[in-house]
Amino acid sequence: MPRTPPAKPWEPVSSSIAQWTSFSRLCEIWWTRSAGIGAIDAARRNRFNALVRFAREQSPFYRHAWRGLPHHELEPRELPVVNKRALMANFDDWVTDPQVSLEGVTAFVADREHIGERYLDRYVVWKSSGTTGEPGLFVQDGEALATFDALMAVHMDPVRFAALHSWDVLARGGRAALVAATGEHFASIASWQRASQSNPLMTARGFSILDPLPKLVRELNGYQPAFLASYPTMLALLADEQEAGRLKIRPVRLWSGGECLAPDAAAAIERAFGCALTNEYGASECMSIAYGCREGWLHVNADWVMLEPVDSDFNPTAPGTASHSVLLTNLANRVQPIIRYNLGDSVIVKPEPCACGNPLPAIQVEGRRDDVLSMRAADGKLVRLLPLALTTIVEEAAQVHRFQVAQAAPDRLVLRFDLDRDHHRQAAFRAAAAALRGYLKRQSLPNVHVELDKRGPLADRRSGKLRQVVCECRP
Ligand SMILES: [Zn+2]
């Protein structure tokens, strides 16, 4: 069962080096961005060329993929598109440090004691939550982590923020709460642990999304965090609890990531807690892709990330139109180069400048949106279940990534697996159903039936898209 990882002692030497790297990166970002969009584009271009040169020299996978291409500097569109399946199948040839191997990384993440620690004493490892149906393992080097930290700091504008809120923050002991799928090697938990280890004034505590809501509310009331971070669906549930008066916290800043956040949902969450919400668009492949602005758009960190919205043939889509997918290049990480990687999200680029004044390109993301399920308990009360909690339980228990959890009735869940063999499907169902029943019992829902649907996952009738958690009935 996932649990809150133990707090690690603060390491003054390595932390101050990391902070210095992050601080110099912060200055660099300020300089580039204050010089305008021309300087940002030039920085991106230079970093792209340097990354391509490096990958060609150090990554056998890319060297082979680009063997027919000329050796002078190339336009991004001249390089082939890569995907998670091909990269994971060639993991040992993809990475640029020969000491990093699929076997080694797999063994490292299998041991939960290693959460928040460094693989080979120098790399942070993130496991993708399998939202695209393919599991992935992502290794980040020190430079990449310093860049992500600096990008977060630039956005949070720490000087102004501290001046405005220092009393409130101090009054709450600098306490930060992360409500996430704890006990796993997800990007959010790994980076959160890193942040709390490097800052002696900040105490951070992880809370599990798998816990029943009343328990979470009780624990958060006791903890009284100054900062609260979670997935948008979880923040929306907590906002309802705050409005109902059961949750009584006064955070000074909220952070959301890991799922798409609709502007109206963001506004409702801010209203309930009476403070600003920072929305981050990121992925295990690149933790910080874009940040939300007050106009409801996401501004791409275009000096450190290259995003190419494309149609189904990987041709560029025009601003103002929804793309089929988006190609991601992470310019900060060298150990495992992500270059023109098919991320799968649909993106719309804002054709005109954003009214907020930020010169960075503005986008909206139509990622996969799973349903929050409202299940009816035996006493008639409705209990809401988070899609990320349900998918984490099924993935962990059944070790599968291509499946669907559907609510067929107020008290009935059906599971669909993308597995060819019947005995594999039966085994996956037995494992997943046992874990789900335990979870449902803890959520006061022992009356809910869990059944197997022998069909594979079904695409949405209207959009044609496949969603992992879907409500197919009226509560
Ligand atoms: Zn804006």
Cα(384) to centroid of ligand 1, in Å?
33
- Is residue 472 classed exposed, middle or buried when 0-12, 13-18 and 19+ CB atoms within 10 A define those classes? middle
Cα(241) to centroid of ligand 1, in Å?
30
What is the pairing mode between strands 124-127 and 137-140?
A: antiparallel
Q: What is the DSSP string of 148-189?
A: HHHHHHHHH-HHHHHHHHHHHHHHTTTEEEEEE-TTS--HHH
Cα(263) to centroid of ligand 1, in Å?
12
Cβ–Cβ under 8 Å, residues 22 and 191? no
Cα(360) to centroid of ligand 1, in Å?
8
Cα(441) to centroid of ligand 1, in Å?
44
The predicted structure's pLDDT at residue 316: 96
Q: Characterize 120-129 residue by residue with b for buried, 16 or more Cβ atoms within 10 angstroms of its Cβ, and e for exposed.
A: eeebbbbbbb
The predicted structure's pLDDT at residue 259: 76
What is the pairing mode between strands 325-330 and 305-310?
A: antiparallel
| Positive or negative torsion for Cα 444, 449, 454, 455 | negative
The predicted structure's pLDDT at residue 20: 64
146, 126, 115, 204: which is closest to 18 by C-alpha?
146
355, 359, 350: which is closest to 320 by C-alpha?
350
The predicted structure's pLDDT at residue 231: 87
The predicted structure's pLDDT at residue 11: 42
Cα(155) to centroid of ligand 1, in Å?
12
Cα(350) to centroid of ligand 1, in Å?
10
Cα(262) to centroid of ligand 1, in Å?
15
Cα(279) to centroid of ligand 1, in Å?
12
pTM over 0.85: no
The predicted structure's pLDDT at residue 159: 47
Report in angstroms the alpha-carbon separations of 223 from 5, 8, 83. 17, 19, 42
The predicted structure's pLDDT at residue 113: 75
The predicted structure's pLDDT at residue 1: 35
Cα(296) to centroid of ligand 1, in Å?
7
Q: What is the DSSP string of 373-390?
A: EEEE-TTS-EEEE-HHHH
Q: What secondary structure letter does DSSP report for 316? A: B
The predicted structure's pLDDT at residue 355: 93
Cα(440) to centroid of ligand 1, in Å?
41
Q: Phi-psi bin for 97: left (phi > 0), alpha (psi -120 to 50), beta?
A: beta
- Residues in the chain, pLDDT under 50: 1-14, 158-161, 163-164
Instruction: Give the containing element (helix H, strand E) for 280.
Output: strand 277-283
